[in-house]
A and B are shown apart, each in its own frame.
Chain A
Amino acid sequence: MPIIVNLDIMLEKRGMKSNELADMVGITTANLSILKTGKARAIRFSTLEAICEALECQPGDILEFIKD
């Protein structure tokens, strides 16, 4: 899929762990792992909003489009 999720990079920049982010966003660590590994088929605006709020970033910082 040409959409890349850069959640790992943002987590490292903010010095935050996955389980902390999962708690703040209100999703399970398993779902966050699906998102991080790029296995997710879609992301809800509400989840994206919560992630952006927790990581104090823009959606573009997390999602990236790379043409195949």
Chain B
Amino acid sequence: MKRNILFKTLVDVLFIFQFIGVITLVIVMPFGDTKIQMIDQPVVEWSWALWLVLILSFLTYIIFILGLYHLRKVARYLLVNKYFDLIVVNHLKRSGLYFVVTGIFSLVLLLMVWLVKIMTGKIALYDSDITLSFFIITIGLFFIIQSDVILNAKNFKDDSELTI
């Protein structure tokens, strides 16, 4: 039970922080004094490719938050010990799907940034860290598999309960 509470708290905190992050991004970006960390270039000097990176980053961010939103739903059900509920299965699957998409998008983003750096001649060896993207994809896939496992477990539980 304590683990469930801790899990729910952590997911809630993560979700709120990410949500605040998006809001901040939306408010701060139009003022033009923001820098993309990987590029280190002021907004006014951005090329179309960098704007594309920004839009894709924002989209990835939103998708990641959607994944967290569904994970929050799962955590809420786990808190009341409803492990074998179809709602848990559906939300876990959606969460996993969103995390997989987030991971793939972030990989694409890294590739785009890498290409931009090649074009501008600012590339460095071992410049990008793709480990996090692969980890998010792995976690997403695990959630999808786990949702199938829970669905099977639910069916076995129903079978057991309806065996007289």
Count contacts on B: residues with CB < 8 A to the other chain.
Answer: 5
- Chain A 40-55, CB-CB to B under 8 Å as 1, else 0, gives 1111100100000000
> Is B1 at the interface (CB under 8 A from chain A)?
no
> Is A3 part of the contact surface with B, judged by Cβ < 8 Å?
no
| Chain B neighbourhood of A39, CB < 8 A | 162
Interface presence of A27 (CB below 8 A): yes
Interface residues of A in 11-68 (CB under 8 A from B): 27, 31-32, 34-35, 39-44, 47
Instruction: Give Cα A39–Cα B161 distance, bound, in whole angstroms.
Output: 11
Q: How many residues of A contact B (CB 8 A)?
A: 12
Number of A-B residue pairs with CB-CB distance less than 8 Å in the complex they form: 23
In the complex, which of the residues B158, B159, B163 contacts A44, with contact meaning CB atoms closer than 8 Å?
B163
In residues 142-164 of chain B, which contact A (Cβ within 8 Å)? Answer: 158-159, 162-164
Taken together as a complex, chains A and B put the C-alpha atoms of A43 and B159 apart, in Å, by 10
CB proximity of A39 to chain B, nearest CB, Å: 7
- Contact partners of B158 in chain A: CB under 8 A: 41
Interface digits, B5-32 against A, CB 8 Å rule (1 contact, 0 not)? 0000000000000000000000000000
Most A-side CB within 10 Å, residue of B158, B162, B164: B164
Bound-state CA distance A12–B164 (Å) is 21
Which residues in B have their C-beta under 8 angstroms from that of A42? Answer: 159, 162-164
Q: Please measure, in the bound complex, the distance between the C-alpha atom of A34 and the C-alpha atom of B164, giving whole angstroms.
A: 8
Specify which chain A residues have a CB less than 8 angstroms from the CB of B159 in the assembled complex.
Answer: 41-42
Contacts of A44 in B (CB 8 A): 163-164
Which B residue's beta carbon lies closest to that of A32?
Answer: B164
CB distance from A45 to the nearest CB of B (A): 11
* 3 smallest beta-carbon distances between A and B, as pairs: A41-B162, A42-B163, A35-B164
A27-B164, A31-B164 given; 16 more Cβ-contact pairs under 8 Å: A32-B164, A34-B162, A34-B164, A35-B164, A39-B162, A40-B162, A40-B163, A40-B164, A41-B158, A41-B162, A41-B163, A42-B159, A42-B163, A43-B164, A44-B164, A47-B164
